[in-house]
Chains A and B, each alone.
Chain A
Amino acid sequence: MGCVAKSVRVAFAASLLSAVSYGAVMAQAVPQGQSQEQAAQQGGGQGQQRSEAQALQAAQGIANYSLVTQQRLENPEPGNWLLYRRTYDGHGFSPLNQINATNVQNLVPVWTFSTGVVEGHEAPPMVNNGVMFVTTPYAQVIALDAKTGDLKWRYKHPLPEDLFQLHPTNRGVGMWQDKLYLANVDGILVALDAKTGKEVWKTKVGDYKRGEYLTLEPLIVNGKVMVGSSGGEFGVRGFIAAYDADTGKQLWKTYTVPGPGEPGHDTWHGDSWKTGGGSVWITGTYDPKRNLAYWGVGNAAPWPGDEHPGDNLYTSSTIALNPDNGKIMGHHQYHWNDSWDWDEIDAPMLVNMNKDGETFDALVHPARDGYLWVLRQNNGGDIEFVSGEPFVGQNVFKSIDPKTGRPTYNEEHVPKVGKDVSFCPSLWGGKDWPSATYSDQTKLVYIPANNGMCGSYEGVNKKLIPGQLWLGADPDSLKLHPESPHVGDLQAWDPATGKEVWSHPFQGTQLFASALSTAGGLVFVGGTNDRMFRAFDAKTGKVLWQQKTNSGIMAMPVAFEVDGTEYIAVQSGWGVDAQRIQDSLAKAGMKVDPDVPQGGVIWVFALRQQPSQQ
């Protein structure tokens, strides 16, 4: 997952929220059905102050809440954002077009809301018929009137006092019926009443003391709440598990590293599978036609490949999973024996593609390894290689097998124990977890890329101590090597031809944020260290609009509609790996100020009202 380069960021701000009064009734939510055992589980029994969850509830609550059904998830209304990428196919595309390439210069903020916390704000504001749900670092959910920005309720999941957060972030709530689902950095999954923010149930998914933690938005299919565990830097054995949306009962748990007797186990040697990584921390995509969920799987652990010889299935792969029982129905490994911390965690986008006169169901994955991969979905879950093209400078792959897509490696760029090795792209990849977007209008993929951002580290052999960082790398040796001041690069690709259509290189900054495309012919993305939020012409790549915000943006923008007005929303709140890259670029001699201000704000934009006619 992320590098752990030195942070020279200023000290955390003191808690703001404790001093805030909402001028409204503050109600303690009583956790329903929570046994002492559960309380002990979630807190490690750490005192009374955190055995009770709390929701601060504004007086009005949410009166009319629209139930989220499977039918709505499969065919969401154009004005809503009910899934991580709006639709199960992972496109991150909105069919709204009121805000478009001809009028976007009139886009202005209509309301903002301070989240009260620092660190990496990565979640999309989820919108269901006029109600917005935003998650922030430190396990908080804020429910707002999407049109006015008025607070409906606020929920804060109490985190254990002894928690260490390598990635203080959260990527959004999952939605089902009248409930929301929040996966937390302490390994606890919580179900909330969407109308009140009160806890309905909670359950322990992972043990944070052993490095299992949750940051992703759950994927919900037919009442099954699926989550995966982070912890690739702590030597966990990754997994995906499903829970009953009504009760929180675990329905199945599938490890991403096969155990003895399971297919793929022979791609590991000795006991290395027990600590092999394969974490899962970005929401999967889903194909209702085949009833298959596609999940991305993280890096092998520890980082140097010679510490875990073999192909190491299913690390750095996409797996096709039956959501009914968790059975792995197919897989494609992008690169074997990962040695670069290249989590291929971002789930592939499902694209019905016309290529060379043939139409087929494709999986499109702009990868952390710097290649734009196109795969074919076959029935039954089988995944077939179609094409792979590098979208950034890549010096690791020597060749790609034309039939299978399996790469061969330039050995001099494969990190090893006791050897300082450089490689391109860096461990943050050509594109890390921030999502690309596929426009249903232009049929192009827009990739928030980092080009010419190479890196290096020296592998070390170290014993795993549960719960302690286990990179297999000498922290002193972790470096970035930008090849030019143009690192961040927004790229438009035609996945069917494997050709780049346009690119927009940014001067003196990385690009580290998810992108949104709309039927207004626009692509929205933040991600630069100058705190800008920008709109691009989807056809030409021209910057049509920009707005400087409070902090840097690493979150996912969304488009939604209330009462006939289209809005664009995004959180601005810099932290985690955007900050680590910033620090590393500064250390590498690039002229960047490590002090990008932190502190989250939700921004909502709409077109400026035209002056009324006399």
Chain B
Amino acid sequence: MVGLSRPGLADDADDPARMERPQKGDLLVYFDGDHEGQVIKPADLKVGDPSFMAWAYDPQKKVPRDGSRLNMILMVRLDPATIKPDEASRAADGIVAYSAICTHQQCPVAEWLEESKDFRCPCHQSVYDPRDGGKVMSGPAPRPLPALPLVIAGDELQVAGPFTARVGGEKSGVG
């Protein structure tokens, strides 16, 4: 078992690697639940299971990138036939990953809509399409959820490149 020594978010971030956004070659570990901190393997994920949260994990420095809420990742395994071409290029055997941070006001997009198979933010109910580049289906979110490309290497899931856009909400307030 690798990864977090305590549940949820890190209290501090003494290691800069924990602050950095997910990078090519990173592994992925579970954010919470029974397997918290364990490496996510494609074989563990089933089509039809709800979305879940993850951190990227730096395999060289052996630290999760859990120093910023903006690094939270949202994942789900979909039927590959339902995924639009652009998103399919980033998916790994139907597994897609996105920033878990709502582009509206930075809430975690914590809800999975079972029927429509969409992501939803519980704070202001923005709905995102995981099959189509995190497109905004409804709600106040101003732009899609940034996607995170994945690749399968051996029996492991790896990050294949950076987020497709800036993560986080709208910039507001004092400059």
User: Is A4 part of the contact surface with B, judged by Cβ < 8 Å?
Assistant: yes
In the assembled complex, A408 has its CB within 8 A of some CB on chain B: no
Contact of B172 among A119, A466, A475 (CB under 8 A): A119
B122 at the interface (CB under 8 A from A): yes
Is B69 located at the chain interface by the 8 A CB criterion?
yes
Residues of B close to A22: CB separation below 8 A: none
* Interface mask (A47-83 → B, CB under 8 Å = 1, otherwise 0): 1000000000000000000000000000000000000
Once A164-B69, A468-B108, A475-B125 are accepted as A-B contacts, the answer to whether A12 and B172 lie under 8 Å apart by CB is yes
Number of interface residues of B (CB under 8 A): 39
Chain A residues, CB < 8 A from B16: 45
Contact A6 B139 (CB under 8 A): yes
Of all chain A residues, which has the CB nearest B105?
A: A164
Q: Please report which residues of chain A, range 169-194, place their CB below 8 angstroms from some CB of chain B when the two chains form the complex.
A: none
**A309 interfacial by beta-carbon distance below 8 Å:** no
Task: Annotate B76-119 by CB proximity to A: 1 below 8 A, 0 otherwise.
Answer: 00000000000000000000000001000111101100000000
**Would A46 and B173 count as touching, CB distance under 8 A?**
no
A8 partner residues in chain B, CB cutoff 8 A: 140
Grouping DSSP codes into helix (H, G, I), strand (E, B) and loop, the B interface class, with mixed when no group exceeds half, is loop
> Chain B CB within 10 Å — which of A9, A40, A209 has the most?
A209
Bound form: Cα–Cα A13–B172 in Å: 7
Q: Is the CB of A468 within 8 A of B140?
A: no
Please measure, in the bound complex, the distance between the C-alpha atom of A4 and the C-alpha atom of B102, giving whole angstroms: 14
A41 CB contacts on chain B under 8 angstroms: 12
**Which of the candidate stretches A155-163, A411-419, A483-491 sits at the interface with the other chain?**
A155-163
Q: List 22 A-B contacts (CB under 8 A).
A: A6-B140, A7-B140, A12-B170, A12-B171, A13-B172, A40-B13, A44-B10, A44-B13, A45-B13, A46-B13, A46-B19, A117-B172, A156-B174, A159-B173, A162-B106, A163-B69, A164-B123, A209-B8, A465-B32, A465-B108, A469-B107, A469-B108
Which secondary structure dominates chain A's binding surface?
A: loop
- CA A13 – CA B175 in complex, angstroms? 11
Query: Using Cβ atoms and an 8 Å threshold, which residues of chain B touch A161?
Result: 68, 70, 168
CB neighbors of B among A133-147 (8 A): 136-140
B174 and A116 within 8 A (CB)? yes
Q: Does B146 contact A (CB under 8 A)?
A: no
> Cβ of A476: which chain B residues have Cβ within 8 Å of it?
125
Give the chain B neighbours of A475 by CB distance below 8 A. 111, 122, 125
Q: Check: A406 CB closer than 8 A to any chain B CB.
A: no
New A-B contacts (10) at CB < 8 Å, excluding given A46-B68, A156-B174, A207-B11? A7-B140, A12-B171, A17-B174, A46-B67, A161-B168, A162-B106, A165-B105, A168-B173, A465-B110, A467-B69
Q: Contacting B173 at CB < 8 Å: which of A7, A47, A137?
A: A137
User: B residues 15-29 with Cβ under 8 Å of A?
Assistant: 16, 19
A329 within 8 A of B: no
Instruction: Tell me the bound Cα distance from A156 to B175 in angstroms.
Output: 9
Give B138's nearest chain A residue, CB to CB: A6
Name which residue of chain B comes closest to A47, CB basis: B19
CA distance A394 to B133 in the complex (A): 47
Complex Cα spacing A47 to B140, Å: 29
| Residues of A with C-beta under 8 A to B139 | 6
Report the interface size class on chain A.
35 or more
Q: Does A544 contact B (CB under 8 A)?
A: no
* Chain A residue, CB-CB nearest to B111: A475
B14 and A40 within 8 A (CB): yes
A609 lies within 8 A of chain B by Cβ: no
- Residues of B whose CB lies within 8 Å of any CB of A are 7-14, 16, 19, 31-32, 53, 67-70, 101, 105-108, 110-111, 122-125, 139-140, 142, 168-175
Residue contact B124 to A4, C-beta cutoff 8 Å: yes
Q: Does A359 contact B (CB under 8 A)?
A: no
Name the contact of B107 in the complex, choosing from A15, A16, A47, A164 (C-beta under 8 A): A164
Check A162/B172 contact, CB under 8 A, given A46-B19, A466-B8, A469-B110.
no
**Contact indicator A14/B171 (Cβ below 8 Å):** yes
Are A6 and B124 in contact, with the CB atoms below 8 A? yes
Give complex CA distance A44, B71 in Å.
13
A353 CB within 8 Å of chain B: no
> Which chain A residues border B53 with CB–CB below 8 Å?
465
Residue of B10, B11, B105, B108 most packed against chain A (CB within 10 A): B105
Minimum CB–CB distance for A542 against chain B, Å: 39
A210 within 8 Å of B by Cβ?
Answer: yes
A29 part of interface (Cβ distance < 8 Å): no
- Given A163-B106, A165-B105, A209-B9, A45 and B14 contact (CB-CB distance below 8 Å): yes
A44 in contact with B67 (CB, 8 Å): yes
The complex places the Cα of A137 from the Cα of B174 at a distance, in Å, of 9
- CA of A40 to CA of B32 in the docked complex: distance in angstroms? 25
Report the minimal beta-carbon distance from A356 to chain B, rounded to whole angstroms.
49
In the assembled complex, the Cα of A165 lies from the Cα of B107 at a distance in Å of 8
Closest B-chain residue to A465, C-beta based? B32
Contact between A7 and B124, CB atoms less than 8 A apart: yes
Asked if B175 and A15 sit within 8 Å, CB to CB, the answer is: yes
B contact residues around A468 at 8 Å (CB): 108, 110
